[in-house]
Structure 1
Amino acid sequence: MGAGAQHSFEEHRGELEIRIEAPTLPDLFAEAGRALAGVMHSTPLEAPVRWSDEVAVTARDREALLVGWLNELVFRSELAKVIFTDFDITQLSERQLVARIRGTQMRELRNPVKAATYHGLSITEHAGGFTAKVILDV
Structure 2
Amino acid sequence: MPFFFRISALLLFLFLYPSLALADVVVLKNGDTLSGKIVAVTEDAITLEHEILGILTLPKSKLKSDEDTIGVLQPEKKATPGVFGTNFLAGWNRRVALGVKGEEGNDVSLNLNGALDASYEDKDNRLALSGAYFYESTGP
- Structure showing the higher strand proportion among its residues: 1
TM over 0.5: no
Q: TM-score, with normalisation over the residues of structure 1?
A: 0.22
